[in-house]
Amino acid sequence: MVKQVLEESETVVVRRGLVVGNYCHDVLIRDDRVVGESLGGAASFVSNVFDNLSIPCHYVSKVGPDFAYSVSHHPISCPSSMTTLFHAYFTSDPDSIGNHDRVLKRIHACDPITPSDLPESQFDFGLAVGVAGEILPETLERMLDICRVVFVDIQALIRVFDPVDGTVKLVGLRETGFFHLLPRIGFLKASAEEAPFVDVEQARKSCCVVVTDGKNGCRIFREDGEMQILPFPAVQVDPTGAGDSLLGGFVAGLIRGLAVSDAALLGNFFGSLTVAQIGVPKFDSRLLQRIKDELDRKAPWTDGCERIDDGAEFKKSAEHEEFQAYLTRAAKLLSTYHAQEDQLDP
């Protein structure tokens, strides 16, 4: 952990994190028409939330020489590999793709991230957020060795890719080379579609499991209980990255000392902001300031992160409803700002 001395009497404890996962390029295709192209990869959505909330992290991500984005955390450039590329297929008729949100195809995969790509330091927390199979079992093992607590997006562990057209399929965690590491994982995030591949009942015995469920919010499972965390309303334009932003908001909340239930609300909040835009979302600065002010009020930095793995009773915090109302008001204010801007500039 880094201690930043501000004044003699005031020391701010800044927790240091490690985020591991490749950036990628996403092409969104609706009804056979390209409707958007953007920077993607869970690491880019997570860094967007972390940077906006001033959560300092070291990022390990690989791209090829074709990588065309300017990002705040420079990736490792691999001269002989293409940047990971996904085609995401959406349809106006969800039944035609078996009721899935989308069908993902991995068109190119950049080099995997190996243990030797990780820094030789210790971290307060780590996020394993691969998208295209780039995190190897030995890489996750190394993360578990050097990070005090590790958050894992299950998509990093259970995705397999059709050898012909790259279609993403899922396999049971038990069938992967990661299963033996489950008892060492602190937090596991899965979407409702991925959850059946995890065996949540087994996983919750050793870690905290967050199952996201689109417009219904998310549910948190621990050995000592479970709870539903309500969503925030959103007009969905593109669901890409909602789960990643949720994870970013959730981890940021925990790092800032929020209870698990309140951190999950913050996660839902960033998930809802993400579906309203194509690609990595741009957050309104006034909205961010309100969030930061509230975080400072609820949990000053000096308390940061103590709740990540403590043995506190698993229930909604006493301030949960108040925090939910605060975030709801902040979201409404954002709509008001937008309506006013539309009036000024129709």
Summarize as ranges the residues that interact with ligand LIP (CB under 6 A): 24, 26, 40-42, 45, 86, 104, 131, 155, 240-244
To the nearest whole angstrom, how small is the minimum distance from the Cβ of residue 100 to ligand LIP? Answer: 12
To the nearest whole angstrom, how small is the minimum distance from the Cβ of residue 194 to ligand LIP? Answer: 9
243 binds ligand ADP (CB under 6 A): yes
Which member of 157, 170, 203, 234 binds ligand ADP (CB under 6 A)?
234
51 binds ligand ADP (CB under 6 A): no
41 binds ligand ADP (CB under 6 A): no
Q: Which of 26, 153, 238, 244 is catalytic?
A: 244
Query: Annotated catalytic, 165?
Result: no
With vertex at residue 65, the alpha carbon angle to CA 63 and CA 70, rounded to the nearest 5 degrees, is 70
266 binds ligand ADP (CB under 6 A): no
Which member of 186, 231, 281, 304 binds ligand ADP (CB under 6 A)?
231
Rounded Cα–Cα distance for residues 201 and 196 (Å): 10
271 binds ligand ADP (CB under 6 A): yes
For tokens 């309506």, the residue is: 339
CB 115 within 8 A of CB 138: yes
CB 270 within 8 A of CB 70: no
Q: Beta strands of the chain (E only): which ranges?
A: 2-7, 10-14, 17-20, 24-30, 33-40, 57-60, 62-63, 76-77, 84-90, 103-108, 123-128, 147-153, 159-161, 168-170, 187-191, 208-212, 218-222, 225-229
131, 135, 141, 142: CA torsion to nearest 10: -110
21 binds ligand ADP (CB under 6 A): no
Nearer to ligand ADP, 49 or 299 (CB): 49
- Provide the 10 A C-beta neighbour count for residue 215: 14
248 binds ligand ADP (CB under 6 A): no
Rounded Cα–Cα distance for residues 139 and 236 (Å): 35
Pick what 261 binds: ligand ADP, ligand LIP, none; C-beta below 5 to 8 Å, kind-dependent.
Answer: none
Which stretch in 25-33, 87-95, 116-124, 227-235 sits in contact with ligand ADP by CB under 6 A? 227-235
Site string for ligand ADP, 185-224 (x = CB under 6 A): ------x--------------------xxxx-xx------
To the nearest whole angstrom, how small is the minimum distance from the Cβ of residue 114 to ligand LIP? Answer: 21
**Could you give the residue numbers annotated as active site?**
244
